[in-house]
Amino acid sequence: MNFTSDYLYPNLSSILTIQNLSVFFDKSQILENINLQIYAYKITAIIGPSGCGKTTLIRCFNRLTELSPNFRRVGNIYMGDREVSKLNPVELRRQVGMVFQKPNPFPKSIYDNIALGLRINGYQGDIDECVEYSLRQVFLWDEVKNNLYRSALTLSGGQQQRLCIARTLALKPDIILMDEPCSALDPISTARIDELLYELKHSYTIVVVTHNMQQASRISDLTAFFNIKTTETGEKIGYLSEYDKTEVIFHHPKQQATQEYVSRRF
Ligand SMILES: Nc1ncnc2c1ncn2[C@@H]1O[C@H](COP(=O)(O)OP(=O)(O)OP(=O)(O)O)[C@@H](O)[C@H]1O
Interval 1-9 mean pLDDT: 62
Which of 7-21, 116-130, 171-185 is the least confident region? 7-21
Picking from 40, 185, 245, 7, the residue whose alpha carbon sits closest to that of residue 163 is 185
Dump pLDDT digits (tens) for 64-114.
999 999 999 999 999 999 999 999 999 999 999 999 999 999 999 999 999
Does pLDDT of 201 surpass 90? no
Check residue 266 and give its pLDDT: 66
Q: Can you list the pairs that 196-203 forms with residues at least 24 positions away whose Cβ atoms lie under 8 Å?
A: 196/138, 196/139, 196/162, 196/165, 197/43, 198/43, 199/137, 200/137, 200/169, 200/176, 201/41, 201/42, 201/43, 202/41, 203/41
92 CA distance to ligand 1 middle (Å): 22
Query: Cα Rg for the chain, rounded, in angstroms?
Result: 19
CB burial string 33-51: b at 16+ within 10 A, e below:
ebbbbbbebbbbbbbbbee
Would the ipTM clear 0.85, i.e. be above it?
Answer: yes
Work out the pLDDT band at 192, boundaries 50, 70, 90: confident
Does pLDDT of 199 surpass 90? no
Measure Cα distances from 59 to 111, 176, 233 in Å: 27, 11, 27
Cross-strand partners of 43: 206
Does pLDDT of 4 surpass 70? no
Check residue 3 and give its pLDDT: 60
Check residue 6 and give its pLDDT: 59
Mutate to test the pocket of ligand 1, among 29, 50, 56 (most ligand atoms within 8 A of CB): 56
Picking from 163, 165, 246, the residue whose alpha carbon sits closest to that of residue 199 is 165
Mutate to test the pocket of ligand 1, among 22, 27, 31, 54 (most ligand atoms within 8 A of CB): 54
Share of the chain above pLDDT 90, in %: 82
Picking from 240, 229, 255, 242, the residue whose alpha carbon sits closest to that of residue 33 is 240
Q: What is the pTM of this model?
A: 0.93
Beta pairing class for 82-83 and 175-179: unpaired
Is residue 137 within 8 A of residue 166, CB to CB? The reply is yes
Q: Mean pLDDT of all residues in the chain?
A: 93
Does pLDDT of 127 surpass 60? yes
- Of residues 11 and 253, more confidently modeled: 253
Dump pLDDT digits (tens) for 159-168.
999 999 999 9
DSSP state of 140: -
Check residue 1 and give its pLDDT: 57
Beta pairing class for 205-209 and 71-79: unpaired
Q: Max Cα separation, the chain?
A: 61
Q: Residues, the chain, total?
A: 266
